[in-house]
Structure 1
Amino acid sequence: MRVYGVIGWKNAGKTSLMERLVAEITRRGFTVSTVKHVHHDVDLDQPGKDSHRHRAAGASEVVLASAHRFALMREHRGREPDLPEVLARMAPVDLILVEGYKRDAHAKIEVFRREAGHDLIQPGDALVRAVATDTALEPLPVPLLDLNNTAQIADFILAEVGLGAGLAL
């Protein structure tokens, strides 16, 4: 499974880049799924709804299914699952883009904006393969990519995972 990360500190622009990358890479004919790590509880359910009642009763998994999509909620009632456990539950696609999980062992692009007020992660993480930025930076041992050039960043990621430039549809 091809997995590539987009990391950075809060307010650096990770989610905006992820959104643009998904659109660009799917436009090229590839299937893409995403994983986003959050630091708060996730709950798609509402108290009183049937699915919430199923979970409250002890169901391990609850699926909400409709004509256009389904959502699978899994109660792990224990430690937070690590990224490989999450990935193992996903359907096969050409590429999974991961937002967050900045300390995990997969290749990543760091999104860096000086105004976010944090230092670069890249100098301390050899798995950061490039830095996407809109800021002039001193030379780094990895490529600097233009944060506003989504096609360039997509090209870099697709080359990194062995998918080339794709089928420009």
Structure 2
Amino acid sequence: MKTLHIVGYKNSGKTTLLERWIGVLNARGLAVAVLKHHGHRGRIELPSVETDSGRFFEKGADVTLVAGGGNAQLLLNNEPSFGALKALVTYDSPDVLLIEGYKDERGEKVVLIRSGEDWDTLQELEGIQLVIGEIDSGEYPVIKDRSEGAQLDSWFIDWLNKEVGHETI
């Protein structure tokens, strides 16, 4: 399983890039899992207490899982460790795991930059594979314009095709 973190500060384009690359993976017939860090400090919006799962959760269930119609929804009344979350999201052995955020965790990273101030902090991260934004870096590949979809996709496909152990995807 190939794993790539998409990191950057709020409104840097992480979700938009993830959506784009999920489409690239789907077009290639690859299974993709996404793990997102909710970095907005508040609680995650939960299902309405009008739903059964919302009612169970509201009454104090630690875990609620609802399945049917080809979908499933899991609600946890705690925040598991990064490792546990990764295990949950990859339970079905996807081809690719895309992670939005979790910049301090180990792994290969694409860094989205809004300004030089962002780069001052984010250039210290380990595992940087690509920087997207208006910076000059001799150390890492850079795509300056985040609207360059073909260039972004080309980099991503090249990354996908790099060997993992002895396999390519």
TM-score normalised over the length of structure 1? 0.81
- Consecutive unaligned residues of structure 2, counting only runs of 5 or more, are none
Change (3 A) 1:21 1:132: same
Does the alignment pair 1:13 with 2:16?
A: no
Q: Is the CA contact 1:55–1:61 (under 8 Å) kept in the aligned structure 2?
A: yes
- Consecutive unaligned residues of structure 1, counting only runs of 5 or more, are none
RMSD (Å), alpha carbons: 2.2
What letter matches 1:16 in structure 2?
T
Q: Is the CA contact 1:105–1:127 (under 8 Å) kept in the aligned structure 2?
A: yes
Q: Is the CA contact 2:143–2:152 (under 8 Å) kept in the aligned structure 1?
A: no
Instruction: Select the structure with the greater relative contact order (CA < 8 A; seq sep ≥ 6).
Output: 1
Q: Is the CA contact 1:4–1:106 (under 8 Å) kept in the aligned structure 2?
A: yes
Q: 1:30 Cα shift?
A: 1.1
Does the alignment pair 1:127 with 2:123?
A: no
Change (3 A) 1:66 1:44: farther
CA distance in 2, matches of 1:97, 1:89: 14
| SS class of match (1:11) | coil
| SS class of match (1:153) | helix
CA distance in 1, matches of 2:63, 2:122: 38
Q: Is the CA contact 1:33–1:97 (under 8 Å) kept in the aligned structure 2?
A: yes
Q: Is the CA contact 1:4–1:157 (under 8 Å) kept in the aligned structure 2?
A: no
TM-score normalised over the length of structure 2? 0.81
CA distance in 2, matches of 1:127, 1:7: 11
Alignment of 1:110-149 (within 5 A): 110-114=111-115, 118-120=117-119, 121-133=121-133, 135=134, 137-145=135-143, 147=146, 148=148, 149=151
- Aligned positions, number: 158
Change (3 A) 1:8 1:34: same
| SS class of match (2:10) | coil
| SS class of match (1:113) | coil
What letter matches 1:123 in structure 2?
Q
Cα deviation 1:3-27 (Å, max 9, x = unaligned) = 2100011111111100001001221
Q: 1:160 Cα shift?
A: 4.8
CA distance in 2, matches of 1:132, 1:49: 41
Moved more, 52-61 or 103-112: 52-61
Change (3 A) 1:143 1:64: same
Cα deviation 1:134-155 (Å, max 9, x = unaligned) = x3x3233111135323322322
Q: Is the CA contact 1:20–1:150 (under 8 Å) kept in the aligned structure 2?
A: no
Percent identity of equivalent pairs: 25
Q: 1:28 Cα shift?
A: 1.4
